[in-house]
Structure 1
Amino acid sequence: MSEPRESSAKAERPGFWTSSFTAAQAVAAASDYADLVCDEERLLWIEFHPEDGRNLVHEWTPGGQRSLTPNGFSARSRVYEYGGGALCLHGGQLFFVNEYDQQIYVQSLLDLDCQVLTKRPDCRYGALVYDSQRGHLIAIEECHSVAAVEHRLVSISPQGVRRIVAEGADFYNSPCISPDGSRMAWVEWDRPDLAWTRTRLMVAVLDQQGGIQERTVCSCGQAEAGHPEAFQQPQFDALGTLVCLTDRNGFWRPWRVLDNNTLQPLPARNADHAPAPWQLNPRHVLGLPGGLWALSWLEQGLGHLALRHAESAEESRLAHGYQRFRALVANSRWLFCVAGSVHCSAAILRIDLLTHEHQVIRQIMPALAEDEISQPQSVSYPSADGEVAHGFFYSPHNSRHSSPSELPPLVIFTHGGPTSATYAVFDNRIQYWTQRGFAVVDLNYRGSVGFGRAYRQRLRGEWGVVDVEDVFGAIEYLVQQGYIAPDKVFIRGSSAGGYTTLCSLLAAEGRFRAAASLYGVSDPLRLRANTHKFEADYIDWLIGDPESQPERYLARSPLERAVEISTPVIFFQGLKDGVVLPEQTERMVAALRAHGVPVECFTFAEERHGFREAKTLCSVLEQELAFYQRWLPG
């Protein structure tokens, strides 16, 4: 790798374009919405505020909006580290999980007074659901002790009395109560299975106190016959019929559970109706009165939303112009959801169930004018083994530089997870690069969600191989299309994407000008030993058993093979990261520096896994850009 050039390159060159869209502006718009809940009078949601890193509960009514969260509180669950289901609404009371102590609090919507409901400092809570028949709260409890981390379903009375409802499984998700209060359903699974490989749908008959009288496993013989399936998002409709998503036919689609414990498919597209359930209580489909279902699904990475009748299959498309939908809730008149589009990273929509018209209640406004936004182009390209991979390509776009004189440099985005996905919605990080003359390809490499079970399973035993093949397949495709300069390619990734980034550096010496790893995995064997319970078996699934296949870990460890890397790398790491421990990044940086690789490393004392503070996010963008520009060839 040649020495970096001086920064006197002309601003007209792609990669050095000037832009009024600053890192601070990009970060200021980096909010998000989650955990929508509603009743007939109001809608509540959690809103992330990057300026101080807090998650505040906001309320909307036809009369206006207000923030409900007092100083000293932040609404966020950390069950399974990724949380979810941190809000529950009943009557004039809000129940929420406080981020700072992970306890459940009850808050009056009249005077906003907060009172603690649980007092178990060794436990975390999430997936809150209200049992209106008994006046109790249902939650997933995660208890930490020196010996183990245990999960269970519990009920909590208005006085804070806790009662165990179900235990014995390693993990739980999405508890729900039937309308008459007689049954409860949930999803559970045991190690070494994962939430997206094999789970059980459980249905229990409840007694008057909410205890379980009997329970049934709704596996319907699939797993026993050698065809494991992953259930998610169970819910009872207004008539008490249980519906869930399962991928038994290759896609996460809605199925109805019949009285004889068999499943019957609901009318739906043959497509994934949800991503992998990394968080608690996700909601991408929703039962409505009159036999209607609100369904969201993905086709070629693009999201759709519709109302569909469970019997006639009559369909009405909703919210045209949006490409991602999540957090569906409804009352008798309105459907609410979080939606994203190419012009808006997230908006809360209110959709009239009678007229199907929608109104934006709240949205994250882009700091860029519409004509300055680079539009995503969906790409499907050939990769190894005759298979096809997917992604979104963004051309450089800046009105001050409408006619670039040369092919642009490329920044490859590799998402985290890795069993996750990227979507065609406005992303400030991407626009920050395209404004400066970089092209961006945001990959949904094989193993990503949204393209069916078979595509999602492609990383089983192949992490660090299949995803890397797709990186190089994307480069070859974009070069052949004449979209990018072949000698000006950069690659970046966070968490699992950081691992794909570092493995890509091993796979092709000299192919990249520079790279960035944001809290990325560099030693998968160390990650396996130190990571949290939810992902404790994930590495074995992604790579293999280190006892019987130790050669895989040596071959796919960027740390063990650091001597083979000569590409300049910039690292970013939170010192409170409980998923990828800081020592991984420290050792990788030291190994690269030991044999002369240009390396920069920035650490952040208060950040965990996934940066949240505005000053951190701003620093990362600015430092990464400066690093790449130093390594752009003339």
Structure 2
Amino acid sequence: MVKIAHFGSWESPLSAEAVAAAGGEPRWIGAHRGRVWWAESRPGEGGRLALVREGPDGPVEVLAAPWNVRNRVHEYGGRPWVVIDTPGGTPGGEVLVFTHWADQRLYRLAVDGPDGPGEPTPLTAEPDREHGWRYADLAPGPEGTVLCVRETVTGDGPTDISRDLVTVDVTSGAVTVLGGGGHHFLACPRLSPDGARLAWIGWDHPAMPWDGTELCVAPLTDLDSYAVLAGGERQSVCQVSWESPESLLALNDPDGWWNLFRIGLDGTATNLAPCAQELGGPLWTLGQRWFTPLGGGRHAILRSGRLAVLDEHTATVTDVDTDLSWWSADLVVVDPDGPVLAAGAATPTRDVTVNRVDLATGATTRVSAEPVAPADPAYLPEPTLRRFAGQDGRSVPAWVYPPRNPDYAAPEGTAPPYLVYVHGGPTGQVRPTLNLDTAFFTSRGFGVVAVDYGGSAGYGRAFRESLNERWGVVDVQDCASVATALAREGSAEGTRLAIRGGSAGGWTSAASMTMVDTYRCGTIMYPILDMLAFVGETHDFESRYLDSLVGTLPEHEARYVERSPINRIDQLAGPVLLLQGLEDQVCTPAQANRFVASLDGSGVPHAYLTFAGEQHGFRKAETVRAALEAELSFYGQVFGFAPPGVPVLDLRS
């Protein structure tokens, strides 16, 4: 029998504990000798990344605790493992090389030794300072070596970082510094098929990689004599792969959209299928793969997360008809004769798993373990992509998740509270896959709307750049426009709107609470709160990000001061909840600490929870559980109901 209860107060079988335990998403998928490998997060083991491979009877864990296959390059990390053939061509021999979080060193493991895989042994030397060398974007190098990007910490400041392309001998651990052609940032080092040349992507401050990068090629023995074959100040090359010793394939956006190009060593470039669609994405982490060649003029590619095949003979991009609607930027060929690919894939009601897909038939086969279902699918939301009218005539895409719980209905004539979710980045994008954090709330009678505000990826360069110099304005306006529209049409209760987000989403949540009166309250997770302080406190990768988002300093210092929530506490529209990891090097705890210190005694109800051992984003099961329960209690107190089954959050003024 369906119970009648107010929106937001429904009981749900989807507990915070179940959500936290289910967060084992696979990432960094690859293949070697027809066998699929991947890293897999383990929230119940402190959030470590285990390494798993395909076995004859199911997944096999290659690296058990305490090994944590993760690195700190750019503080967001990069591809942390590679498998190569044993030097000398020993039949059946495979060597795994990976990065370990605890010390950031490279380790070696003989995968198929006579006595089994054994224990990993360190390859690279221990640096003089903790995490002083960091390795990422691992790829096969000249025989018996691994090619990668190495960061070196050169001082005590957060921007005291240099980078090189290096090779590491998988037997001796000897590191050969190749250089980097003078670029401060390096990505995607790839050795030509004949071993004579190296290709890579480089860029420099103040550009972010989606602003402008250069595709460089040089003799392997002399990177300083590199030639720039593509890219530039307002072109973003985000992936490169050798097609032959004389040509490369690269994703670039000279016309405002990431498309696939064939590029000759003389710099001639041919767009293989011109289209006003994104076939690439922002290079937040090193080692992503939005495309992979299939041979015969065909290429598997992602079109805004959908799996497609680009046929250069017809200059077309055609979606692959599968039962999975979203695919990760981890495309890898497992069997070229099929052809068969592997990647992470999901739907709005099915969590990400590693899947093989036969491109001839579209048939998919799950490779990783089936996620434990924390709730019946009847309790999971079914989102709808809508476009809302924003200011200045802009169209604002947003995914709308109405409440869903078969056990409950709300009193007739009432509308649900809505949570406006703001993604991070801000050069990011909403991912239309199963999000149990969202389901935790929708199954309790909340609506959730996830907004791709101006500046988001996936809609071309012009849309990304609509946020330039207007961060804290366009994002705030777009989210408020969506929330107001939902309330105006009766889908949401206009007096019970909240905003929530982490990182750049935390910034927009905090800015919104001080700039508009749309929301009753806000949840602010690991945020930016003080723009001027962020420039001096954050890590090297994003230390000049605000040059484009806000303006250069010191010319535009007034903008930094005026828009920063820490300077607008007296204008807060309602209560706030802050959640912060204490080891965050991107948005440091110092900002949240100062913000809360200013809130104390202000009369604004607030709560501040910190989590030891957490960096940028929450990985531990106990953290995820505590954060969700606190957030639910927070909304209950502000909106006037008592959520069942969660501790009461202590709000102070």
TM above 0.5: yes
Question: Which piece of structure 1 moves more, 541-550 or 604-613?
Answer: 541-550
| Equivalence for 2:43 | 50
Deviation string, structure 1 residues 77-135 (Cα, Å, up to 9, x no partner):
2100001110101121111111111111111112222111111422100010112x432
Is 1:162 equivalent to 2:175 in the alignment? Answer: yes
Instruction: Choose the corresponding residue for 1:490, options 481, 484, 498.
Output: 498
Q: 1:577 to 1:343 in 2, by over 3 A?
A: same
Matches of 1:365 and 1:294 in 2, distance apart? 30
Residue 175 of structure 1 corresponds to 189
Q: Identify the range of structure 1 (327-336 vs 239-248) with the bigger mean alpha-carbon deviation.
A: 239-248
Counterpart pick for 2:202 among 160, 178, 188: 188
CA–CA distance in structure 2, aligned partners of residues 324 and 633 of structure 1: 40
Judging changes above 3 Å, is the alpha-carbon distance between structure 1 residues 20 and 353 closer, same or farther for their aligned structure 2 residues? closer
The aligned residue for residue 219 of structure 1 is 230
TM-superposition CA deviations, 1:31-82 (whole Å, max 9, x none):
2111112122311110001101110000103443210113321101210000
Alignment of 1:359 with 2:369, yes or no, is no
Q: Is the 8 A contact 1:255 1:264 kept in 2?
A: yes
| Equivalent of 2:59 in 50, 53, 65 | 65
User: AA paired with 2:17?
Assistant: A
Q: Which residue of 2 aligns with 1:40?
A: 33
- Aligned to 2:139, which of 122, 129, 145? 129
Distance 2:303 2:274 in 1: 9
Is residue 488–residue 633 contact of structure 1 (8 Å, CA) maintained in 2?
no
Q: Which of the numbers 475, 492, 496 marks the counterpart of 2:483?
A: 475
Say which of 148, 162, 173 aligns to 1:139.
148
432-441 or 512-521: bigger deviation: 512-521
TM-score (norm. length: structure 1):
0.93
RMSD: 1.8
Counterpart CA distance in 1 for 2:478 and 2:604 is 26
Q: Deviations over 1:237-296 (max 9, x none)?
A: 367630111111111111110243121101254211122110001101111222220011
Provide TM-score, normalisation by structure 2: 0.90
In the aligned structure 2, how far is the partner of 1:395 from the partner of 1:578?
35
Match of 2:353 in 1: 347
Q: 2:7 aligns with which of 14, 17, 33?
A: 14
Q: What secondary structure is seen at the aligned counterpart in 2 of 1:412?
A: strand
Q: Which runs of 5+ in 2 are unaligned?
A: 86-93, 642-653
Counterpart AA for 1:169: H
- 1:551-608 per-residue CA deviation (whole Å, 9 max, x = no partner) reads 1012101111111114101111111111111111111112122321111111111111
Which residue identity lines up with residue 490 of structure 2 in the other structure? G
Q: Is residue 447–residue 455 contact of structure 1 (8 Å, CA) maintained in 2?
A: yes
Given the alignment of the two structures, is residue 327 of structure 1 paired with residue 330 of structure 2, yes or no? yes
Partner of 1:266: 272
Decide whether the 8 Å contact of 2:578 with 2:592 is kept in 1. yes
Residue 279 of structure 1 corresponds to which residue in structure 2?
A: 285
Q: Which residue of 2 aligns with 1:293?
A: 299
Q: Structure 1: which 5+ residue stretches go unaligned?
A: 1-9
**Separation (CA, whole Å) in 2 of partners of 1:399 and 1:321:** 25
Provide the rounded CA distance (Å) in 2 between the counterparts of 1:483 and 1:36: 40
Kindly tell me the number of residue pairs found equivalent between the two proteins.
Answer: 611
Partner of 1:6: none
Tell me the distance in 2 between the aligned counterparts of 1:360 and 1:69: 21
**Aligned partners of 1:71, 1:349: CA distance in 2, in Å?**
25
1:354 Cα shift? 4.0
Alignment map for 1:219-618 (pairs within 5 Å): 219=230, 223=233, 228-237=234-243, 241-267=247-273, 269-298=275-304, 303-313=305-315, 315=318, 317-331=320-334, 332=336, 333=338, 334-362=340-368, 363-402=370-409, 404-405=411-412, 406-509=414-517, 511-618=518-625
Amino acid at match of 1:309: D
Contact 1:30 1:50 in 2 (8 A): yes
CA contact (8 A) 2:263 2:269 kept: yes
The answer to whether the 8 Å contact 2:324/2:345 transfers is no
Q: 2:70 aligns with which of 76, 84, 100?
A: 76
**Deviation string, structure 1 residues 195-244 (Cα, Å, up to 9, x no partner):** 1101111012235xxx5484211137x64xxxx21111101136763011
Do the aligned residues in 2 keep the contact of 1:179 with 1:240 (CA within 8 Å)?
A: no
CA 1:247–1:366 in 2, change beyond 3 Å: closer, same or farther? farther
Aligned-residue sequence identity (percent) comes to 30
Q: Deviations over 1:150-198 (max 9, x none)?
A: 0111111231111111232110111112222222211000111111101
How far apart in 2 are the matches of 1:64 and 1:29? 19
Q: Secondary structure at the match of 2:551?
A: coil
1:120–1:266 distance in 2 versus 1, CA, 3 Å: farther
Letter paired with 1:90 = I
* Residues 1:279 and 1:588: Cα distance change in structure 2 (over 3 Å): same
Q: From the superposition, tell whether residues 482 and 319 of structure 1 become closer, same or farther in structure 2 (CA, over 3 Å).
A: same
Q: Which amino acid aligns with 1:600?
A: A
User: What is the CA–CA distance in structure 2 between the aligned matches of 1:107 and 1:497, rounded to whole Å?
Assistant: 39
2:469 partner SS: coil
Q: Secondary structure at the match of 2:528?
A: coil
Q: Which residue of 2 aligns with 1:4?
A: none
Q: Which amino acid aligns with 1:151?
A: R
Task: Assess if the C-alpha contact under 8 Å between 2:238 and 2:281 holds in 1.
Answer: no
Q: Is 2:163 the partner of 1:151?
A: yes
Determine the C-alpha separation between the residues in 2 that align with 1:496 and 1:246: 25
Question: What secondary structure does 2:33 align onto?
Answer: coil
Task: Output one character per residue of 1:398-428: Cα deviation in whole Å (capped at 9) or x when no partner.
Answer: 0011455310000110111111111111100
Relative to structure 1, the CA distance from residue 213 to residue 181 in structure 2 (aligned partners, 3 Å threshold; closer, same or farther) is: farther
Give the secondary structure class of the aligned counterpart of 1:257: strand
Cα distance in structure 2, aligned partners of 1:99 and 1:188: 25
C-alpha separation between the residues in 1 aligned to 2:18 and 2:312?
45
Give the AA of the match of 1:96. F
Q: Identify if the C-alpha distance between structure 1 residues 328 and 404 changes in structure 2 by more than 3 Å, giving closer, same or farther.
A: farther
Q: Are the counterparts in 2 of residues 171 and 190 from structure 1 also a CA contact under 8 Å?
A: yes
Q: Which moved more, 1:407-416 or 1:69-78?
A: 69-78
The answer (yes or no) to whether the contact 1:546–1:553 under 8 Å persists in 2 is no
Q: How far, CA to CA, are the matches of 1:481 and 1:192 in structure 2?
A: 43
| Alpha-carbon contact 2:139-2:189 (below 8 Å) kept | yes
Q: 2-side partners of 1:306 and 1:563: how far apart?
A: 50
Match of 1:204 in 2: 218
Equivalent residues of 2:246, 2:265 under 8 A apart = no
SS at match of 2:296: helix
Equivalence for 1:7 = none
Deviation at 1:457, TM superposition (A): 1.1
